[in-house]
Amino acid sequence: MSMAPIRLSEEQLAAYHREGYAVVEDLIPPEKVQALGERLREYTHGGRPADRLRIQVEPRVQRGEAQVEEWGDGIRKVDGLVEGDELFNALGRDENIVGIIAQILGPDLKLFRNSLLLKPPQVGSQKGMHQDSPYWPIQPMALCSCWFPLDDATPQNGCMGVLPSGHLRGPLPHVRVPDDFVVEEGHYSFDEMLLVPMKAGSGLFFHSLLPHYTAPNNSAQWRRAIALSYMSSFCRHAGDGEAPEYYHIQGRTFPGCVR
């Protein structure tokens, strides 16, 4: 039995453009969430070679300021699974995710990044308030990420917090602080932040200029999430050095635009 594709309603699409984000419940079915979590654990806790992945360990664990039982329990971020793993590859091309992204960005799409963002119990650190585009060498600054948790994301274990409509302020000044790169103080207030608790498998689609934040995980529960960030093939690479070849998802590519 084929299921009807999941898409944003007209109201949800209008809300995305107005607020900078949209939540889609039950985007990824539970059995797929479970399979992704199991596959992830094979990379982080043994069973599959992780040497081709880009792995970031929690800075406090790295510095010996926090202890974990196993190496995999201190991992903060894993990049590059869509390119090398067939399960994650299929996820990057998921009909529902890509269909919704195409509603937002149009049909010609490339993948900018794919990351597993892990907040292990007790040691998962905060991600300070930031916009993604100031980190990224892509113009115009209008990418869209699909972020979804593999565990229920709660205020206690580090669910997303967003500044609704903050993408309309354009790029805000960012400053380096220890272990992070965040919106400069005075350009927002935490009072404006809306927490977005989500069930595992629900998806948050958000604009690359939407300021967002996640708290440290002081709970006993994992908070694992996957972020897939897409761009229109009309975007340009605006960084230093040679432009990388970005993963092609669907549609046309254009001369002078991202390869």
Site residues (vs ligand AKG, CB under 6 A): 117, 127, 132, 145, 147, 158, 212, 214, 225, 227
The least distance separating ligand AKG from the CB of residue 255, rounded to whole angstroms, comes to 30
The nearer residue to ligand AKG, 102 or 225, going by C-beta atoms, is 225
The least distance separating ligand AKG from the CB of residue 97, rounded to whole angstroms, comes to 14
The least distance separating ligand AKG from the CB of residue 214, rounded to whole angstroms, comes to 3
The nearer residue to ligand AKG, 110 or 113, going by C-beta atoms, is 113
The least distance separating ligand AKG from the CB of residue 147, rounded to whole angstroms, comes to 5
The least distance separating ligand AKG from the CB of residue 225, rounded to whole angstroms, comes to 5
Q: What is the DSSP secondary-structure string of the chain? A: -PPPPP---HHHHHHHHHHSEEEETT-S-HHHHHHHHHHHHHHHHSSS--TTSEEEE-HHHHTTSS--SSGGGGEEEEE-HHHH-HHHHHHHT-HHHHHHHHHHH-S-EEEEEEEEEEE-TTTPPPEEEE-SGGGS-EESS--EEEEEESS-B-TTTT-EEE-TTGGGG-SPPEEEETTEEEEPTTS--GGG-EEE-B-TT-EEEEETTS-EEE----SSS-EEEEEEEEEETT-EE-SSSSPPPPEEEES---TTS--
The least distance separating ligand AKG from the CB of residue 1, rounded to whole angstroms, comes to 33
Residue in 147, 145, 137 with CA at minimum distance from that of residue 208 = 145
The nearer residue to ligand AKG, 145 or 233, going by C-beta atoms, is 145
The least distance separating ligand AKG from the CB of residue 2, rounded to whole angstroms, comes to 31
The nearer residue to ligand AKG, 213 or 246, going by C-beta atoms, is 213
The nearer residue to ligand AKG, 55 or 257, going by C-beta atoms, is 55
The nearer residue to ligand AKG, 145 or 202, going by C-beta atoms, is 145
The nearer residue to ligand AKG, 127 or 237, going by C-beta atoms, is 127
Per this entry, what is the length of the chain?
A: 259
Half-sphere exposure of 71 (CA within 13 A, CB side): 8
| Residue 228 CB coordination number (10 Å) | 26
